[in-house]
Structure 1
């Protein structure tokens, strides 16, 4: 920050957007999805074109570089640099104009690809290029990178769709580029303006180097290295917008883009072909490509399949299509006018391949619910790879080479020989349709010898790619990883032409310097190096599977899946759109704090507390992050350390020990309930405890569930199925006994003798507040109490997802013993338990016809660790009841989070993202079902609707016997 205070002050006074030069923000933006790390000067989050203009002008006045940034998903280091970073993703992310008839849309650069496609879908349109990062990649980033995707044999690259671009040049001069020819081009070439100068320079550079461009540019579909001078010699209008495509923000800051959009495919057929080896899969891709109607041919190898099998979300996807243990599989897509036609193409190819003995298994994805599952595994392949535990990681430095498709097999074979020679392993995935395999050798960047090996591998691979007439980058760009190879691939004359292009646009070298031309060596500015520290930090929970606490944080590789705006992961990012409140942002802060060498002290700083404060511990990252970063677990450890240093606040004590407090308060329930409902008391709690007065704490109910259970008359008849132990969680027992009563009725109707657990608490409230030592003590106590039942083979059945799943998820890490693992294996949610009986043919529950419609909202922990499938299947046993899962993420309540004064507004904002609107849209006629007690409380607060537990629905539909 030294030396840049005046720059920061001037930007703050001039901009309507946000200006952040603090160390935590600089840490957040010091990395992207690459292996590089460069701390920026500061970060600007512009709200308008005017902010961008002023940023460039003011930065130029202070001699500061500028770097446009979208989602930060660049794999080659394009979006890190010693510059003022301009993050377009928060505010400048709108669709400005659509002409559906003409087939174009005008957008701002921060718009995410999936969001554009959601906007286009009702019009029957789609953006052609489809990156695997579509859930968070912005259109500005796609243009800067010249992205393509799996269906590029149909749609090509982003440059093929760019029509116009406007924005600002270095220093703040405005530009507007579009197609020019004839008199319009001549007029532009004659202008005495900055635009005119640039057009004249580029027209001259392209003309003088036409023959060299034709000779040296690779003759393949996938090439995104260098500047697109080849676009200026094609028989098409002269268009400098196409030069900005793939320029990586080195020439200008684009603020508006006009792109061509395509008709939405009417139907897609999907075929998955399994092979014993990747060699056989590559060999088969050529003949497959010669078929008509092929939209994509993608490959995934054994390594990624193995890594994916350890990811909770991928496990569910792979069930639908994985057969055996393949060395690789090909994902083949077909387009058709109808679904029947598309599937017929897939069936026909499958039959032909079977007859020819190609592949050992072939699966046509007919079910609409699972048709996209293979593609999801393929799209998340990179993240699965980078989820590898330990210091050796699959590193991106030769991962994007493209060769002519007909040379792909020999290229693979010789690449493998290079790997064997250097005694390292790699993985393969990518686009066999266009000769592009993503290859990531495993390198430990913390060892100097490994970095030298990486340099040697890149040299050998570069020469191999040159020999085959390929490109070092087919879609990921040059960035810091490959810019140093641009002179070798294009030759000295074209390299000098590229430098002339840079000077014409940016004579002061302000825009993202050091990329494409005049680049540093590719092993400079690495995120990890021989001096990287990996200190051993003592923890309460067991992190041995991750090779320690620090490496659990380092699992975050920056791919940015947590920046998506659907699913469960990172509800706080979805609501705030702040990098700080994504899993990646939190991991970056923690990693940088540890790297500074003060782990014992700095992990307990206020800055780290603030970075983790809005993490709702939803566990979405554990399932949806391809690397399975468990930020909830990491946060709990940091919070325990924070409390150890600063003391535990009263509110945290009250919430963490809520079960004991409820038990002590029970004799005075009427007085307690009156007190909690009193406006004055709630105002005092708001002021002194930070419990928001706008929330109503649930009353204590007498008799409690346990009291009712003990006093009730036992059902007539012997239990047919043995005994089941119902987890008597704090919330069911003291606040919602009707849920427990319903569960008892269902289990007894299924033939079980029902018992109740005799536990103080499962420890969930303690875990949620970082009281890990207390939770561990409670877990040890509970394991002793539950062991006799476990040893007898008695299943533990739970109603509150967060409580039951604590046994499965946290207990083995809190108390890493055989008994804890036994409890994890023996614990089931009610619906899981019933469905397991049904699968074995042992469930004879009978339900009466119950016509109606209901919306189901799954608890975050349930969605992350189990999925909502079992709940929907169990509810599906009720005849006539049509249940639809709400495509919501977290409800926003997260236990006590929504009660906390400082979090109240965000809590409701998260609910308003999808959950509340879906319930309102469903109407009063649709029932609402939610298993989580927090979810039901939030639904009541946000919509005024009373949600029922699944157990209540099943019990209410039981047929009387």
Structure 2
């Protein structure tokens, strides 16, 4: 029986719950989470269902047909036009129906379910030498089902075309509940089919008649450009060696039927690819150059304007990848050549350079030929949408005229006219996109909370639509229409063809329940806005400082719905989503829940309700969103804010108190060790588990009586004399009481490098209290730490730490928590030990005699380190050892997240996070490979699940010290 959140919102919920194997959710919270996508729109759905298989989909369609309830298929929810929001029962295919059913390499096709994510599909195909042609920017979160519904294209469409060029066959369920399978029909097969009386035959007959009747109008009205996804694809019928109704369903945005399976064509992956990045002094120059570059037969020509480049420079995730940007250009054209012979591609780059000189642009081409460097260029380019969403304040780049397309040779004149429209309304905009095919993504800066800007929203859309028609182009080149552009279809296609579109809709869906309001019979494009002039927020006085965002509400609203947090294969964000594939447990889901609560979508009291607790519960505070979310949403910060307010209303559970005061627990445990370690087994372990809510399957760390602090006090030969090379080494709770050997090795390494080490008396930095939302103790601990370290800070003595989560609290939380100049000074003067060593080495000031080691290291980076400091310093420190070969695992989060992995209800999720990448990679490593993990809980998880002992980087350095003289 599926889990049903029981709220009396709709009578269909119980019927669906009884009949489906998948999940059924009609509760207010879930409905709010699915009321938005990556667009500017918000419509609360009736409910959400998550089918597990084809039969579930049939049952959904059948059960809802009785009351003519609307249905809306949804994948990753990355739509920019509002295609995947509506007053309907949403069918989310991404959670369960994401299987690749069959791959036929001989005939170069694959059968896939709609929830398959594009990057995951290509990852599976990678060993075969094949790939899927269309590649959209949100490839890590976009599903192929959504791409089919949208007729998506991507950067390389000049080479690979649109989805319609790759879909061979579609299978699914019609609005009546009948099953369909549409593939290519020969002329004879079509004639036979037209004589039948089945529902699919009647649909084929109706559509075929419309295509024949309106042949001249179709030829006249449909733009003669490669990029056009507006309307229904009546122009596709009969073009591909037969009649294939699948071509009509592609791009129909779920308005005609529910697709449950697709057979798609595969393409050979080019062996090599190189990039030539053309720099321009003016935007106009880039537009004039693009049409000429097309003659060189590139695989892609991508535009990025200065606004986008500037945003990338401000992004902590992308600023270090901008090696391909020289100087301060007004625009870039990123030109890709691909093929089997690298020498031929280099000749293409030579030709590109000659062309640029001949056109009068000089030597403006930066060559990028190394594969990893090329990948970084594409990473920045793909981040365009998200980077634009990182703008703070009221006016933000809005998607509504971001999908225009004209013939490439018309771009100079078209973009000039486009800019004139924007200038007339006093609006700035970012320009980027696919110059190779004349499809540019223009994002005007508007504040849709203001009535004036909502007015501009409509006026600009109307004028730009007219402009595209004047140039023989389209208002929708790849992002689809949805709520943003469907309204203009009568004008774009004319009343005759628009009436034909309505007949197509009626033939498939006579009662109009398949994603209504899209393509035809659409509401005005300035209705159903996520914000709008009437939007207001209400929330308690926040604990933390949100001044840099303009307030707590603005910080929450930084989430623009781009769904980067729904990726499931690479990086760290978002660990809980990666293993649950549940929107509720994504960063976007949590941000949407908070936004709904402060803006009236949910009752104000829901902000600190048990329902919100469920949403926030599995946020493990990894901080990956702070780095990897293009909009830099910091969900760990929001969770802290929530926990503090939640505890104030509901009280603090005993487990939270105990784990939040880990320093006191460790101090007491250490004082009574080894007796205190008896709590690891038998009745005492049962009592510990029961009282503190710990999982019996998880081993507990052992208290050490011989703490690091005790060892340090016994080193009579050392004095606290301050030399010019003095450093302060912090003994954090975990290192001091559980793993003193790590700190001892750190002292050995620092002293071997000639530094005088000072160790203050160990105290708690407040990290556990912050993780558990214990505000007053966290503030007290932070203030005490700052006061203890202030004398060293004032003298400029570097503060060094070993445990990333503790030391990096100084940089990340302290300034917001304490809002003092002293905390900011500490943040600027504190370093992880390996950061300090790497910086000293880079400055030529490190003297460290290390033996050569011809061995391999597998590095797992701590989440907080990856998000706030990066792991480059760890690799650089390891590289100090001659002969050492270091490989970093793209392992995401280990799953422990401090105390999270110890707790009842979290253990299975914690293990699943580790088993996604980390544990299998370590098991596959040879026994001679050294495993490095700087986080104490990371090392604990690795030991528990793989039996391997992981080391801190300073332990590896200590073992390599040359002590022979």
TM over 0.5: yes
Q: Do the aligned residues in 2 keep the contact of 1:112 with 1:135 (CA within 8 Å)?
A: yes
For residue 395 of structure 2, the aligned residue among 375, 392, 395 is: 392
Cα shift at 1:359: 6.5
Deviates more, 1:921-930 or 1:716-725: 716-725
Match of 2:864 in 1: 861
Show CA shifts across 1:734-766 (max 9, x none): 111111111111111111101123352111111
Cα shift at 1:339: 3.8
Superposed, 1:83-98 pairs within 5 Å as 83-98=88-103
Cα shift at 1:563: 0.4
Deviates more, 1:158-167 or 1:2-11: 2-11
Superposed, 1:326-337 pairs within 5 Å as 326-337=329-340
Change (3 A) 1:933 1:350: farther
Q: Aligned partners of 1:597, 1:266: CA distance in 2, in Å?
A: 50
1:596 aligns with 2:594: no
Q: Do the aligned residues in 2 keep the contact of 1:105 with 1:259 (CA within 8 Å)?
A: yes
For residue 206 of structure 1, the aligned residue among 211, 227, 244 is: 211
Superposed, 1:113-152 pairs within 5 Å as 113-152=118-157
For residue 268 of structure 2, the aligned residue among 245, 263, 277 is: 263
Q: Do the aligned residues in 2 keep the contact of 1:846 with 1:958 (CA within 8 Å)?
A: yes
1:178 aligns with 2:159: no
Q: Do the aligned residues in 2 keep the contact of 1:104 with 1:259 (CA within 8 Å)?
A: yes
Cα shift at 1:347: 4.9
Runs (5+) with no aligned partner, structure 1: none
Q: Aligned partners of 2:636, 2:690: CA distance in 1, in Å?
A: 28
1:161 aligns with 2:166: yes
For residue 577 of structure 2, the aligned residue among 554, 573, 579 is: 573
Q: Aligned partners of 1:449, 1:152: CA distance in 2, in Å?
A: 37
Task: Give TM-score, length-normalised by structure 2.
Answer: 0.97
Q: Do the aligned residues in 1 keep the contact of 2:356 with 2:364 (CA within 8 Å)?
A: no
Q: Aligned partners of 2:58, 2:769: CA distance in 1, in Å?
A: 50
Deviates more, 1:45-54 or 1:410-419: 410-419
Cα shift at 1:5: 3.6
Deviates more, 1:308-317 or 1:515-524: 308-317
Change (3 A) 1:540 1:134: same
Q: Do the aligned residues in 1 keep the contact of 2:183 with 2:244 (CA within 8 Å)?
A: yes
For residue 79 of structure 1, the aligned residue among 64, 84, 97 is: 84
1:54 aligns with 2:59: yes
Q: Aligned partners of 1:324, 1:458: CA distance in 2, in Å?
A: 34
Match of 1:22 in 2: 27
1:103 aligns with 2:108: yes
Q: Aligned partners of 1:538, 1:600: CA distance in 2, in Å?
A: 13
1:508 aligns with 2:545: no
Cα shift at 1:309: 2.5
For residue 711 of structure 1, the aligned residue among 711, 714, 719 is: 714
Q: Do the aligned residues in 1 keep the contact of 2:273 with 2:369 (CA within 8 Å)?
A: no
Is the partner of 2:334 in helix, strand or coil?
Answer: strand
Deviates more, 1:369-378 or 1:903-912: 369-378
For residue 187 of structure 1, the aligned residue among 171, 186, 192 is: 192
Cα shift at 1:351: 6.0
Q: Aligned partners of 1:832, 1:340: CA distance in 2, in Å?
A: 40
Cα shift at 1:277: 3.0
Deviates more, 1:4-13 or 1:621-630: 4-13
State the superposition RMSD in angstroms.
Answer: 1.8
1:657 aligns with 2:661: yes
Superposed, 1:168-317 pairs within 5 Å as 168-234=173-239, 236-292=241-297, 294-317=298-321
Cα shift at 1:7: 1.0
Match of 2:3 in 1: none
Is the partner of 1:603 in helix, strand or coil?
Answer: helix
Superposed, 1:768-917 pairs within 5 Å as 768-917=771-920
Match of 1:613 in 2: 617
Q: Do the aligned residues in 2 keep the contact of 1:180 with 1:237 (CA within 8 Å)?
A: yes
Q: Aligned partners of 2:329, 2:716: CA distance in 1, in Å?
A: 57
Show CA shifts across 1:343-397 (max 9, x none): 4533553465367652775432233332211111111111111121122221111
Match of 2:633 in 1: 629
Cα shift at 1:235: 5.8
Change (3 A) 1:536 1:13: closer
Show CA shifts across 1:671-692 (max 9, x none): 2122x22321111222232111
Deviates more, 1:600-609 or 1:584-593: 600-609
Show CA shifts across 1:761-797 (max 9, x none): 1111111111233212222222222122112111111
Task: Give TM-score, length-normalised by structure 1.
Answer: 0.97
Q: Aligned partners of 1:551, 1:18: CA distance in 2, in Å?
A: 33
Q: Aligned partners of 1:380, 1:666: CA distance in 2, in Å?
A: 48
Change (3 A) 1:943 1:686: same
Show CA shifts across 1:222-241 (max 9, x none): 00000000001536311000
Q: Do the aligned residues in 1 keep the contact of 2:862 with 2:938 (CA within 8 Å)?
A: yes
Q: Do the aligned residues in 2 keep the contact of 1:759 with 1:782 (CA within 8 Å)?
A: no
Runs (5+) with no aligned partner, structure 2: 1-5
Q: Aligned partners of 1:642, 1:946: CA distance in 2, in Å?
A: 38
Superposed, 1:387-786 pairs within 5 Å as 387-535=390-538, 537-565=540-568, 566-596=570-600, 601-674=605-678, 676-714=679-717, 722-786=725-789
Match of 2:17 in 1: 12
Is the partner of 2:734 in helix, strand or coil?
Answer: helix
Cα shift at 1:665: 3.9
Is the partner of 2:674 in helix, strand or coil?
Answer: helix
Change (3 A) 1:732 1:22: same
Change (3 A) 1:820 1:603: same
Change (3 A) 1:757 1:329: farther
Deviates more, 1:725-734 or 1:193-202: 725-734
Deviates more, 1:390-399 or 1:333-342: 333-342
Q: Do the aligned residues in 2 keep the contact of 1:276 with 1:359 (CA within 8 Å)?
A: no
Deviates more, 1:880-889 or 1:240-249: 880-889
Change (3 A) 1:599 1:877: farther
Q: Aligned partners of 2:605, 2:730: CA distance in 1, in Å?
A: 39
Show CA shifts across 1:810-868 (max 9, x none): 11111222222221111111221111111111112121121212211000111112222
Change (3 A) 1:532 1:359: farther
Q: Aligned partners of 1:728, 1:797: CA distance in 2, in Å?
A: 9
Q: Aligned partners of 1:432, 1:749: CA distance in 2, in Å?
A: 57
Change (3 A) 1:370 1:831: farther
Corresponding residue pairs, total: 958
Match of 1:67 in 2: 72
Q: Do the aligned residues in 1 keep the contact of 2:856 with 2:885 (CA within 8 Å)?
A: yes
Q: Do the aligned residues in 1 keep the contact of 2:699 with 2:944 (CA within 8 Å)?
A: no
Cα shift at 1:591: 0.9
Match of 1:43 in 2: 48
Q: Aligned partners of 2:373, 2:548: CA distance in 1, in Å?
A: 31
Q: Aligned partners of 1:757, 1:434: CA distance in 2, in Å?
A: 63
Q: Do the aligned residues in 2 keep the contact of 1:105 with 1:258 (CA within 8 Å)?
A: yes
Change (3 A) 1:211 1:866: same
Change (3 A) 1:721 1:266: farther
